[in-house]
Amino acid sequence: MAAAAAIELLDIACTFAGHGTAGQRYTAVEHVSLTVGAGEFVSVVGPTGCGKSTLLNVAAGLLAPSRGTVRCFGAPLTGLNRRAGYMFQAESLMPWRTALGNVMAGLEFRGVPAAEARAQAEAWLRRVGLGAFGDRYPHQMSGGMRKRASLAQTLVLDPDIILMDEPFSALDIQTRQLMENELLALWSAKRKAVLFITHDLDEAIALSDRVVVMSAGPAARPIGDFTIDLPRPRDVAEIKMTPRFLDLHAAIWGVLREEVLKGYQQQLGRAA
């Protein structure tokens, strides 16, 4: 029997109250089935507001879907997904803790003895290139360093699934490419399942095994699922110049383009 997928979303719908007129409900996503295999790197791209973060919240167990089933390694997910680590777009570091203190925090909450937690956190800080900066507070670090610390904070807990919501979008392009390469190096060493949300199709293709395209909302759903057959290991800057990357980009953009325009029009309509 094939190994169970890390995450399976089966016919998910998420409906929210409070859009527009009182009592009106808004179905953000509907009929969404999405699987991330163990060790697989899957990105979801789609127009703004189509429900990408909503799906990640469902996979994290932070949001119960209005309909459908979520499975984690074959078992139905109820409550928080304890096999998943979550890295958000926003800063996740506690400003009153040092880099080391931030990376140790999750282990401490789990009851790992302090000396052990410190040793593991120090090892992860070294791995993300912050070995010499453990005593820095978030405000004493650059944006790229804070992202590295967040990455260490997520990975130190050794999650089987890594959920990432535009984790590098606030970074300048050079730092971003460095972080993407680091993420790929860490991922290929550990082969965790990754569900990665991004606006950036280039980033999605460069990192992933598969890219899933969402339609514009309401009732957004996957409308394309592309296997990224680019060789690994990859350098994210170099891979973007290969003919195969350009072919994949053209094929996926062919599906995404119209949805992005629809999503944009809808936002204009809502703002009016």
Ligand X SMILES: Nc1ncnc2c1ncn2[C@@H]1O[C@H](COP(=O)(O)OP(=O)(O)OP(=O)(O)O)[C@@H](O)[C@H]1O
**Chain residues in the site for ligand X (CB under 6 A):** 16, 18, 26, 28, 46, 48-54, 199, 217
- The least distance separating ligand X from the CB of residue 89, rounded to whole angstroms, comes to 8
Whose CA is closest to 69, among 29, 9, 27, 16? 9
d(CA 7, CA 73): 6
Give the strands of the sheet with 7-17, arranged side by side.
25-36, 7-17, 67-72, 75-76
- The least distance separating ligand X from the CB of residue 122, rounded to whole angstroms, comes to 34
Residue 229: which H helix or E strand, with range? none
Q: Which amino acid makes up residue 255?
A: V
Nearer to ligand X among residue 160 and residue 259 (C-beta) = 259
- The least distance separating ligand X from the CB of residue 8, rounded to whole angstroms, comes to 19
- The least distance separating ligand X from the CB of residue 244, rounded to whole angstroms, comes to 27
Nearer to ligand X among residue 28 and residue 248 (C-beta) = 28
Nearer to ligand X among residue 101 and residue 224 (C-beta) = 224
Alpha helices per DSSP H over the chain: 52-60, 99-109, 114-127, 143-155, 173-190, 201-207, 236-239, 243-271
Contact call for residues 65 and 12 (beta carbons, < 8 A): yes
d(CA 107, CA 111): 6
Nearer to ligand X among residue 29 and residue 236 (C-beta) = 29
Whose CA is closest to 40, among 71, 4, 77, 6? 6
Nearer to ligand X among residue 106 and residue 218 (C-beta) = 218
Nearer to ligand X among residue 46 and residue 159 (C-beta) = 46
- The least distance separating ligand X from the CB of residue 95, rounded to whole angstroms, comes to 24
- The least distance separating ligand X from the CB of residue 23, rounded to whole angstroms, comes to 14
